[in-house]
Amino acid sequence: MATMTLTVNGEPRELKAGTDLAQLLQQMQLNADCVAVECNHLILERETFATTTLNDGDSLEVVQFVGGG
Amino acid sequence: MSDQLIIAGRSFNSRLMVGTGKFSSHAAMVAAMEQSGSDIVTVALRRVDIDNPDDDMLSHIDRNRYLLLPNTSGARNAEEAVRLARLARAAGCEPWIKLEVTPDPYYLLPDPIETLKAAEILVKEGFNVLPYINADPVLAKHLQEAGTVTVMPLGAPIGTNKGVRTREQIAIIIQQAIVPVVVDAGLGAPSHAAEAMEMGADAVLVNTALAVARDPGAMAAAFKKGVEAGREAYLAGLGEQRDTAEASSPLTGFLRS
């Protein structure tokens, strides 16, 4: 099975080739409605998560809201 | 309600904004939000911890009841603040942003130059920008000219509970303001909040004082009263301070033989 390696929040992560962003979030047990994602420093709109195919070497930042003042 | 707080054309009943950080539990946070009577609550944005994904704190906040005001805490310069603001919008927030740029972790004092730079960019991008600033009247003017919808001068450094230590400077900011002035940071007691409101501040933001209280909900209720008392006193018109006594009882008609 072909795999690819991405960086997710600074950590390397191996994924099946062809995985899309919505699938990755699901694997990470994250609700897509509660996060924002940057791929290679570009912010991705939520509506595009399911159609965003990830590529070997991509760098992702996945953020969510936490308590703050 | 006639005495509403209006920010960027939107009306709010409460003049107390509440931060959601540092609470010991979601239940304590929700109790403080509810008992504060607040309409606006702040949140921060952080990387998801992949090994320990937190339960989503937004599921505890009624988005129909509260305006969610994301902050840019953690930003050390304008570029990082702009990035966080854009991410907050992408995460589903309305384009309201509490702009914080605090390069120094020891005092967490806001960087005026980077804050102004970020404000100029974010205003152009259509954000309602609420900048956290030191109590600097000249900076406050520059930000208002750049189009920010409030200014948020600090009473004392974040989390210090010291009260309105910047009183004289905040008075000048209030006197010159063309947008609401929100005293943010350092307010540790309801009397501090009342003091800021008596001075004519339009609102205050409180977090640490509620989060560290033994009973956050009850403390939030106390702050609500402090804010309301201060506001009512400001509207009623406070007497001037004097250096000599002025009798409140008549000075004639004494019983003297």
pLDDT of residue A66: 92
Q: Which residues of B have a catalytic role annotated?
A: 98
* Beta carbon pairs, A and B, within 8 Å: 100
Q: Does A29 touch chain B (CB under 8 A)?
A: yes
Query: For residue B149, is pLDDT > 60?
Result: yes
Are A44 and B90 inside 8 Å of each other by CB?
yes
Pairwise pLDDT comparison (B217 vs B256), residue with the higher score? B217
pLDDT of residue B52: 75
Mean pLDDT of B134-158: 97
State the CB neighbour count (10 A cutoff) for residue B238: 11
- DSSP-assigned states of every residue in B176-209: H-SS-BEEES---SHHHHHHHHHTT-SEEEE-HH
Q: How far is CA B37 from the centre of its chain?
A: 14
- Note which residues in 88-147 of chain B have CB less than 8 A from chain A: 88, 90-92
Least confident residue range of B76-85, B134-143, B198-207, B247-256: B247-256
The interface predicted TM-score of the complex, written ipTM, equals: 0.89
Are A35 and B48 inside 8 Å of each other by CB?
yes
Query: For residue A1, is pLDDT > 80?
Result: no
**Mean pLDDT for chain B overall:** 95
CATH architecture of B5-235: Alpha-Beta Barrel (3.20)
Q: Does A12 touch chain B (CB under 8 A)?
A: no
pLDDT tens column, A13-63: 999 998 999 999 999 888 888 899 999 999 999 889 989 999 999 999 999
H or E element in which residue A42 lies: strand A42-44
Assign domain A3-63 one CATH number from 3.10.20.30, 3.40.50.150, 1.10.10.60, 3.20.20.80.
Answer: 3.10.20.30
Query: Nearest-CA neighbor of B183 among B211, B104, B173?
Result: B173
**Which residue among A29, A44, A65 sits closest to B58, beta carbon to beta carbon?**
A65
Q: How far is CA B117 from the centre of its chain?
A: 21
Domain boundaries, chain A: 3-63
Contacts of A31 in chain B (CB under 8 A): 56
Secondary structure of B148-166 as H, E, C letters:
CCCEEEECCCCCCCCCCCC
Q: Does B72 touch chain A (CB under 8 A)?
A: no
The token duo for A38 is 């940057």
Q: What is the pTM of this model?
A: 0.92
pLDDT of residue B159: 92
pLDDT of residue B1: 53
Q: Does B53 touch chain A (CB under 8 A)?
A: yes
Mean pLDDT of B173-188: 97
Q: Does A31 touch chain B (CB under 8 A)?
A: yes
- CA separation, residue B134 to residues B53, B107, B138, B147, B182 (Å): 35, 11, 10, 18, 12
Task: Indicate the residue type of B49.
Answer: D
**Which residue among A29, A35, A69 sits closest to B42, beta carbon to beta carbon?**
A69
pLDDT tens column, B101-138: 999 989 999 999 999 999 999 999 999 999 999 999 99
Are B92 and A33 inside 8 Å of each other by CB?
yes
Q: Does A66 touch chain B (CB under 8 A)?
A: yes
CB-CB contact of B154 with B186 (8 Å): yes
- Cα–Cα dist B86/B126, whole Å: 11
pLDDT band at residue B50 under the 50/70/90 scheme: confident
- Note which residues in 29-48 of chain B have CB less than 8 A from chain A: 29, 42-48
Domain boundaries, chain B: 5-235
Residues 6 or more apart whose CB falls under 8 angstroms from that of B135 comprise B153, B154, B155, B166, B169, B170, B173
Residue A38: strand, helix, or coil: strand
